[in-house]
Structure 1
Amino acid sequence: MRCDYYDAGQCRSCELMGVAATDQLTAMQRDLEVALAGVVPADVWRPPAHGPEEGFRNKAKLAVGGVRGAPTLGILDGERRGVDLRDCGLYEPGLHEAVVALAALVADLDLTPYDVPERRGELKHVLVTHSPDGELMIRFVLRSRAQLGKLKAGLPELRRRLPHARVVTANLLPRHEALLEGAEEIWLTRDRQLPMRVADLTLHLRPRSFFQTNTVVATHLYAQAATWVGGLEVATAWDLYCGVGGFALTAATALPRATVTGVEVAAEAVRSAQQAATESGLDGRVGFVAADATSYAEAHDAPDLVIVNPPRRGLGAELTDRLERSPTTHLLYSSCDAGTLAADLRAMPSLRVVHARGFAMFPQTRHAEVLVLARRG
């Protein structure tokens, strides 16, 4: 892949730009094996899963810079000034079209970009998610309500230019901090969720919902999980840190005689997950609870299978200790940080990894997703 922004020195986020895709996969696999040496046997690795090296991102998190009438949508440079990346080659085609249209719309609506060094202005970020069916969730992160009227008045024009915009919101971030979004969300559309189809499963994303950045590779990830857990003899399962329910629903489909409980601290994600379960006809066997994962695990009898997809920081000492002491027979662990995965696995020595696979979720970077299945004994 070639990138004009990279070649011009405007953006170096893609640290492996120019490295052949096959070489990136080889390096990713080598790095995973080194990071997980001692806890993942060399002979259990499957070849890494991957998708296209460009045009794969389903979301754009765009910092807004520039001036009224001439905004930049992209990143901020070392002096916190805007660098326009509207033609980034990582975006899915439909996402690229949306970003280009939104850059023009921000200018035409006369929205004022937020000037970080001067601490003035209104529009801080534009956050866009693109679904496999071409629909969009668009979020405008504002410093205050001062230009909310302009945004509401411009909604018909936005929908004219982007007719597949399903969810549009204004998010308020009044503090001058290095944050992506604030606590208050103002819906400008009737729809509050973006359907996100992954193979035969349709999940529902709300503004703060987590979903993998790469839909193609996420499909491989769920398919691999289904294959591994589908061969197990288990009657009960948990999906801790379940988000909008992807792994829980995958497990319920792969284990037609098992009951599955998804646990997620964000109540709105739990509502979305339950909706997906109902629509999939799985609500009789899979349910979701709004709770802290560690607290839930401490308060309930452990199931046969535990699925975890934690934040980058990993599970932590309390939860790994609980799982190590439990009678759980299998653990399926999806991780975006091989270092914390290794630490968590070392804290659970009675769970032995029997399958492992890397997923090139973030081409052009050294980041990777990794999935392991561990068995007790």
Structure 2
Amino acid sequence: MKREKQSSGSRRKGDGTVGPAGGKPGGERPLRVRLSPRSTVEARISGLDDEGYGISCAENHGLRIAGGLPGDTVQAVIDHVAQRMAFGHVKKILVASPLRSRRPPCRESAHCLGCPLIAMNYCDQAEWKRQFVLRQLDAYRGLDGIELHPLLSPRRLTNYRTTVRLTIAGKYAEPYIGIFRRSSHDVVDLCDCPIHHHLVNRVVEVVRRGISRLKVPVYSPRNRVGLLRYLVVRVSEAEQKAMVVFVTARRSYNEIHHLARYVREQLPEVEVVAQNVNSSEGNVIMGPVDHFLTPKHHLTERIGEVSLMISPRSFLQVNRDGACLIYERVAEWARLTGRETVLDLYCGIGGIALTLARRARRVIGVEVVEAAVEDARRNARMNGISNCVFQAGDVAEQLEELAEDGEGVDVVVLNPPRKGCDEQVLRQVAALGPRTVLYVSCSPQTLARDLNLLKSLGYVCVEVQPVDMFPHTMHVENVARLEKVIKALDNTE
């Protein structure tokens, strides 16, 4: 049974119910309603915004309703009211949308709100995501003529997430391990999340029991007392083994040592346990140092053709099936013959670079995080790949050095964080003159922006492949293929 912990200062008061919003059938204007936190309103959902909120309106406010789907009529509780926008969540569905699944994979989605699309039929999810990408491309006049392929979906739509970072809250007698409820500071306890890998769910349950049995104090951000702050779990599907990282407010050996031993006794699949100390008051989950409580410090995952070592802070896609789809499409569109030099920017621990190395003459990977570069080098040795070089440093600075060295590059892979690429990086990539640029993006908005700039620099996007890395959420990844424009010589005098 899922439980919910309310943080201090958010206790429920008596709800005041106001009239309908969203307009009446026939195009009548929406009724004027007075909105305030914890009041309720009847709303007709007309669409979804880019963050997965249901769109509605009152006469004096736009409404964003978490859990609402287009075609729903709902009773919603208002969580927050701004000058022109109010945010809330569904309390009761009055008229269900035809997009709603009759058997959604999660019975608790209305309480959690972590997967905004999970109540939607999957075929409708796929079309919504494709249209979402299309809207971002259409925002730029210069991006017409791009072939947008149908969404590629992984074979599993549930139990795909192999890495989780969960908040620990409450007291040791009744700990909560989960995520913050959308638009609130309440922690939703995740007992058997249908998105998480089965082994992740088992680890969470064992840790919950261990905290209670061993009376491990849970950290309170308000009082700044206690020990346990976060639980990080990583699973290797290739090995069917798990890594557990306890993030604590201070270094305290005894409690974590006994909790680690309990977890490993109850769940032998846990092969790696570490303690990470984070005493900061910010939103960063992990501190700078890991203290391992097991002889083994990493797991090994296999994605497509390559094996990759997983450490507590290695960046690796949380959906192995989705990662395979991306790696395969990048390899296909690179059209390598064994004679090319490939530049992989923002290469992380080297997954794409090592996949392409078997088909290229040489691959150069660049990543700003030095620990990731060390992981990439170890991964190259583990896979027996010697034609892959990994360099640590700022991408713009590394590109400048390549240009100064006169390094010829045939294919460039861009895989930046959500904010996309800096303009300087894109200009430097274009200046290298590769025949093909492959852009892997986790943000359709910044992808469209960067494709538009690259077109002005002589690289035209030919096709985009959306990939559903996170089924049931609003996130969608994309692979874009750009080719260098060859200008015809003007022989006229």
Question: TM tier, shorter chain?
Answer: over 0.9
Partner of residue 134, structure 2? 33
Q: Is 1:286 aligned to 2:392, yes or no? A: no
Partner of residue 470, structure 2? 362
| Letter of the structure 2 residue corresponding to residue 47 of structure 1 | P
Tell me by how many angstroms 1:234 deviates: 5.4
Task: Please identify, of 236-245 and 203-212, the stretch whose mean Cα deviation from structure 2 is larger.
Answer: 203-212
Counting only pairs closer than 5 Å after superposition, residues 135-150 of structure 1 correspond to structure 2 as: 135-145=241-251, 147-150=252-255
Partner of residue 169, structure 2? 65
* Alpha-carbon distance in 2 for matches of 1:324, 1:267: 26
| Letter of the structure 2 residue corresponding to residue 361 of structure 1 | M
Q: Secondary structure at the match of 2:124?
A: helix
Partner of residue 12, structure 1? 113
Note if contact 1:33-1:42 (Cα within 8 Å) is conserved in structure 2.
no
Q: Is 1:74 aligned to 2:175, yes or no? A: no
* Alpha-carbon distance in 2 for matches of 1:24, 1:348: 30
| Letter of the structure 1 residue corresponding to residue 171 of structure 2 | V
Q: 1:320 to 1:116 in 2, by over 3 A?
A: same
**TM-score, structure 2 as length reference:** 0.72
Partner of residue 53, structure 1? 157
| Letter of the structure 1 residue corresponding to residue 173 of structure 2 | G
Q: Secondary structure at the match of 1:354?
A: strand
Per chain length, whose mean CA-contact separation is higher, i.e. which structure has more relative contact order (CA < 8 Å, sep 6+)?
A: 1
Q: Secondary structure at the match of 1:144?
A: coil
Q: Deviations over 1:100-137 (max 9, x none)?
A: 22221222232111122333221110010111121112
Note if contact 1:71-1:103 (Cα within 8 Å) is conserved in structure 2.
yes
Q: Secondary structure at the match of 1:47?
A: coil
**TM-score, structure 1 as length reference:** 0.93
* Alpha-carbon distance in 1 for matches of 2:362, 2:336: 15
* Alpha-carbon distance in 1 for matches of 2:170, 2:186: 7
Tell me by how many angstroms 1:89 deviates: 1.0
Q: 1:67 to 1:259 in 2, by over 3 A?
A: same
Q: Deviations over 1:220-253 (max 9, x none)?
A: 1111111111356852111111111011011112
Q: Deviations over 1:142-192 (max 9, x none)?
A: 0012x3321123333222122122221111111222221112221112222
* Alpha-carbon distance in 2 for matches of 1:43, 1:290: 34
Q: Secondary structure at the match of 2:472?
A: coil
Q: 1:79 to 1:240 in 2, by over 3 A?
A: closer
* Alpha-carbon distance in 2 for matches of 1:131, 1:194: 6
Counting only pairs closer than 5 Å after superposition, residues 261-276 of structure 1 correspond to structure 2 as: 261-276=364-379
* Alpha-carbon distance in 1 for matches of 2:321, 2:108: 25
**Aligned mate of 2:461, from 331, 353, 361:** 353
Q: Which has the higher helix share?
A: 1
Partner of residue 48, structure 2? none
Task: Please identify, of 40-49 and 150-159, the stretch whose mean Cα deviation from structure 2 is larger.
Answer: 40-49
* Alpha-carbon distance in 2 for matches of 1:238, 1:108: 52
Partner of residue 336, structure 1? 442
Note if contact 2:305-2:355 (Cα within 8 Å) is conserved in structure 1.
no
* Alpha-carbon distance in 1 for matches of 2:109, 2:312: 30
* Alpha-carbon distance in 2 for matches of 1:308, 1:164: 36
* Alpha-carbon distance in 1 for matches of 2:447, 2:375: 27
Q: Is 1:297 aligned to 2:399, yes or no? A: yes
Superposition RMSD on alpha carbons, in Å? 1.8
Q: Deviations over 1:192-217 (max 9, x none)?
A: 22211112311112211111121111
Give the percent of matched residue pairs that are identical in Structure 1 and Structure 2: 27
**Aligned mate of 1:321, from 413, 427, 434:** 427
Tell me by how many angstroms 1:79 deviates: 6.2
Q: Secondary structure at the match of 1:168?
A: strand
Task: Please identify, of 180-189 and 123-132, the stretch whose mean Cα deviation from structure 2 is larger.
Answer: 180-189
* Alpha-carbon distance in 1 for matches of 2:210, 2:295: 21
Q: 1:117 to 1:126 in 2, by over 3 A?
A: same
Structure 1: gaps (5+ residues): none
Task: Please identify, of 346-355 and 148-157, the stretch whose mean Cα deviation from structure 2 is larger.
Answer: 148-157
Tell me by how many angstroms 1:140 deviates: 0.6
* Alpha-carbon distance in 1 for matches of 2:109, 2:377: 42
Q: 1:40 to 1:275 in 2, by over 3 A?
A: farther
* Alpha-carbon distance in 2 for matches of 1:214, 1:192: 22
Tell me by how many angstroms 1:219 deviates: 1.0
* Alpha-carbon distance in 1 for matches of 2:184, 2:161: 27
